[in-house]
Amino acid sequence: MATNAGIEYALAERKYREAKTTEEKIKGLEEMLRTAPHHKASEKMLDQIKQKISKLRYQIEIKRAKKAGIKSLNIKREGAARVVIVGTTNSGKSTLLTRITNAKPVIAEYEFTTEEPEVGIMDYNGVNIQVIEMPAIIENFSNTKRGHEFLSIINDSDLVILTYRNQKEKDIVIKELWNSNVELPIIYYNNQDVEILKEMIWKNLKLVYVYTKMPSKDKDFPPVAFSKGSTVEDLAKKIHKDFINKFKFARIWGKSSKFVNGQQVGLKHILEDGDVIEMHMK
Ligand SMILES: Nc1nc2c(ncn2[C@@H]2O[C@H](COP(=O)(O)OP(=O)(O)OP(=O)(O)O)[C@@H](O)[C@H]2O)c(=O)[nH]1
Ligand SMILES: [Mg+2]
C-alpha cells in the first residue's frame, strides 16, 4: 500500500545508514530499492541507489580478488603493450612463451604445470612487449578460486593469444572469455612461425615504432613506440615538453616519406613503422 511503502522505505533507509559491513549496506539499499515509490519523479533517486549498490558490489569483488592473492594482481606493466597467452592446459602456452620471449617457464607433459602467471619480454625490432602466460583456463573459470584475479590481468591487457588442442577446447576458452566480458583482439595460435606470429602481434596491437635522430648523428636505439596514427607532434611531446615550442621542422626517412628521402615535414605528419625522424629546432 502506498502509505505503508513510505514507512517501509524509511525503515530500509535507516537499516542502510546504520549498517556496519558492506554486505549489510547492500542489503539495506536493496530494500530501499524494493520499497521506494516507483514513478517518474523518483527515477533519479532509484538510479542513485542502483549506482551505490554496484559500487559496493565492486568493492567486495576487489577485496575478494586481493584476498585470493596479491602477488599476481600486481604484475607491473612493462614495455609498450601487454599480451596474454590464454588457453587450455597442455596446449603449449609455456612452449610458446619461450619461443617469443626471454622467459623460462617449466614445460612438462603433465597438466596444469603453470600455476602462476609467467612473465616474459618479447623484442620487436627493439620495442619491448610484455607477454604473460596465464594458468590454464577450465570451464567455469571465473568461479574458480583465483579466476577473478587472473581474469583481471587478462582484462588489463591489449591482446590475447589463444592456445588450444582441439575445437572443443577452443570453444571453452572463447566462452569463458566472453562470460567475463573480455573484449580484446584475439590471435588464434596454430603453431605459426615465430616471425610471422610476432608480425601478427605487432599488427594487432595497432602501434608504430619510429627512430629519433639528431642532425649529423646516427639514429637512436631503441626506437620509440606509439599508437597508430600518431604524429611528429606526439613524438616531440614524448621526447621533451619543450620540444614543441622549439620545433622548427623534421626530416623523415622511411615509409611515410612520400617524395624524397629526408623529406621535410611539420608537426601534423603521421608516422609509420621504421621511420627515422630528425628533429630541427629553433
Ligand atoms: N606435439 C606437440 N607437443 C607440444 C607442442 N607444444 C608443446 N608441446 C608439449 O606439450 C606439453 C605441454 O606443453 P606446455 O608448453 O607446458 O603447455 P602449457 O599449455 O603451458 O601447459 P600447462 O601450463 O600445464 O597448462 C609438453 O610436453 C610439450 O613438450 C606442440 O606444438 N606439439
Ligand atoms: Mg604452462
> Which amino acid residue places its CA nearest to atom 7 of ligand 1?
92
- Residues 54-100 have pLDDT tens digits of 888 878 877 776 666 544 457 899 999 999 999 999 999 999 999 99
What confidence tier does 28 reach under pLDDT thresholds 50, 70, 90?
Answer: very high
**Measuring CA to CA, which residue among 26, 30, 40, 24 is closest to residue 9?**
30
Query: What confidence score (pLDDT) does residue 38 get?
Result: 83
* Containing structural domain, residue 273: 207-281
> Does residue 89 share a domain with residue 157?
yes
Measured in residues, the chain has a length of 282
Looking at 190, 205, 220, which one is the last position of a domain? 205
d(CA 158, CA 175): 19
Task: Output the CA 95–ligand 2 centroid distance in Å.
Answer: 7
177 CA to centre of ligand 2 in angstroms:
19
Q: Is the pLDDT of residue 2 over 50?
A: no
Looking at the CA of residue 89, tell me the nearest atom of ligand 1. 25
The tally of domains found in the chain comes to 3
Quick: pLDDT tens for 249-281.
999 998 776 666 788 999 999 999 999 999 898
Q: State the pairing for strand pair 247-253/263-265.
A: antiparallel
CA 106 to ligand 1: nearest atom:
16
Q: What is the distance in A from the centroid of ligand 2 to the CA of 98?
A: 10
pLDDT at 22: 93
49 and 155 part of one domain: no
Q: How many other CB atoms are there within 10 angstroms of residue 83's CB atom?
A: 24
For residues 89 and 9, state if they share a domain. no
Distance from residue 111's CA to the centre of ligand 1 (Å): 9
Task: Identify the CATH number of the domain in which residue 254 sits.
Answer: 3.10.20.30
**Lowest mean pLDDT, pick from 6-10, 55-59, 100-104, 160-164:** 55-59
Q: Are both 166 and 149 inside the same structural domain? A: yes
Cis peptide before 222 (omega within 30 of 0): yes
pLDDT at 10: 92
Tell whether 83 and 182 lie within a shared domain: yes
* 79 and 198 part of one domain: yes
Ligand 1: residues whose CB is within 6 Å? 87, 89-95, 107-109, 111-114, 136, 191
Which has the closest alpha carbon to 79: 205, 185, 183, 195?
205
User: Which pLDDT tens digit goes with each residue over 180-193?
Assistant: 999 999 999 999 99
Q: Which of 84, 88, 95 to mutate to test the pocket of ligand 1 (most atoms within 8 A of CB)?
A: 95
pTM, two decimals, is 0.75
Ligand 2 centroid, distance to 140 Cα (angstroms): 19
Q: Do residues 198 and 238 share a domain? A: no
**Strands annotated E in 231-273:** 247-253, 263-265
132 closest CA partner among 145, 114, 109:
114
Alpha-carbon 180 to chain mean position: 14
* The pLDDT value given to residue 58: 78
